[in-house]
């Protein structure tokens, strides 16, 4: 496997925001992208037309274990391999924990953490067969730094880091690498909910003086898929303009 070899990549939440930027970056690098999220967007419709042999969109509920099984199985049967999985789908409900609803807590745990574990299990099976693969979990600097009002979200993103480190140890012997990318605060739909004062506070704490963009983060996925990252596993790559130093 090397940087110029087209890879088959399953990407969750690839219809908008950071996931869209990751999908665009992977397509530009020549990879095949199989993405899944709840509903189509202008981007997924456009990508399916512009890259008919390179892009697939599957509408599914990522909380449905059987659907995740079918996604991995179908991809392997069609392409004969799954080279990489990017667990990117996530939701965030902002608000103090004392007033949080059960359903919102459960949705964050299910979508951000449990679905990532389940889909990793499904894809790891096929990666083990090929003794080759890359799993990238999209966490957040909130996992390590904390942010008032996002405690459950932080728990799910920190959970992904613990999951990554143990899975990297488990699968390393079979040449399967597992890493985390941990973006800082990005200009996406998810950060649109930030108040002006929250936004100003983030920018003030960031040495590079701005919020990140999805395009600051997406190339790291291609890098971690490439040969250049062949000796990197179990790591957290932080892309945050220095805000966490």
Contact 154, 143 (CB under 8 A): yes
Residue closer to other proteins (CB basis): 38 or 131:
131
Tell me which stretch binds other proteins (CB under 8 A): 7-15, 45-53, 123-131, 136-144. Answer: 123-131
Please pick, among 79, 126, 153, 185, the residue that the annotation labels catalytic: 153
Contact 224, 232 (CB under 8 A): yes
Residue closer to other proteins (CB basis): 55 or 126:
126
Contact residues for 97 (Cβ-Cβ < 8 A; gap 6+): 151, 152
Q: Should residue 117 be labelled a site residue for other proteins when binding is judged by CB under 8 A? A: no
Q: How far apart are CA 194 and CA 198, in angstroms?
A: 6
Residue closer to other proteins (CB basis): 23 or 82:
82
Bridge partners (DSSP) of residue 177 are 134
Q: How far apart are CA 217 and CA 73, in angstroms?
A: 29
Q: How far apart are CA 149 and CA 77, in angstroms?
A: 43
CA-closest candidate to residue 157, choices 127, 132, 131, 184:
184
Among 58, 81, 114, 125, binds other proteins (CB under 8 A): 125
Tell me which stretch binds other proteins (CB under 8 A): 20-28, 106-114, 118-126, 229-237. Answer: 118-126
Q: Should residue 106 be labelled a site residue for other proteins when binding is judged by CB under 8 A? A: no
Count of H-run helices and E-run strands, the chain: 9, 7
Q: Should residue 134 be labelled a site residue for other proteins when binding is judged by CB under 8 A? A: no
Residue closer to other proteins (CB basis): 165 or 199:
165
Note if 185 is an active site residue: no
Tell me, rounded to whole angstroms, the distance of Cα 42 from its chain centroid: 20
Q: Should residue 72 be labelled a site residue for other proteins when binding is judged by CB under 8 A? A: no
Q: Should residue 8 be labelled a site residue for other proteins when binding is judged by CB under 8 A? A: no
Tell me which stretch binds other proteins (CB under 8 A): 87-95, 97-105, 168-176, 208-216. Answer: 168-176
Catalytic (active-site) positions:
153
Binding site for other proteins (CB under 8 A): 124-126, 128-129, 131, 170-171, 173-174
């Amino acid at each position: 496997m090397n940087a110029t070899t087209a890879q088959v990549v399953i990407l969750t939440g690839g219809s908008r925001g950071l996931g869209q930027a990751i999908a665009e970056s992977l397509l530009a690098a020549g990879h095949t992208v199989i993405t899944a999220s709840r509903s189509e967007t202008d981007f997924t419709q456009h990508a399916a037309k512009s890259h008919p042999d390179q892009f697939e969109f599957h509408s599914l509920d990522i909380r449905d274990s059987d659907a995740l099984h079918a996604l991995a199985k179908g991809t392997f049967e069609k392409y004969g391999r799954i080279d990489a999985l990017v667990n990117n789908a996530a939701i965030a409900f902002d608000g103090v924990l004392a007033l949080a609803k059960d359903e919102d807590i459960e949705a964050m745990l299910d979508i951000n953490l449990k679905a990532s574990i389940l889909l990793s299990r499904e894809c790891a099976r096929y990666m083990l067969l090929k003794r080759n693969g890359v799993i990238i979990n999209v966490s957040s600097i909130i996992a390590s730094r904390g942010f008032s009002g996002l405690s459950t979200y932080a728990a799910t993103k920190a959970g992904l880091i613990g999951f990554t480190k143990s899975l990297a140890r488990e699968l390393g012997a079979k040449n399967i690498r597992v890493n985390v990318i941990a973006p800082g605060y990005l200009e996406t739909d998810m950060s649109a909910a930030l108040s002006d004062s929250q936004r100003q506070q983030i920018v003030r704490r960031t040495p590079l003086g701005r919020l990140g963009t999805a395009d600051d983060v997406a190339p790291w996925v291609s890098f971690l898929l490439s040969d250049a990252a062949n000796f990197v596993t179990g790591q957290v790559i932080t892309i945050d303009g220095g805000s966490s130093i």
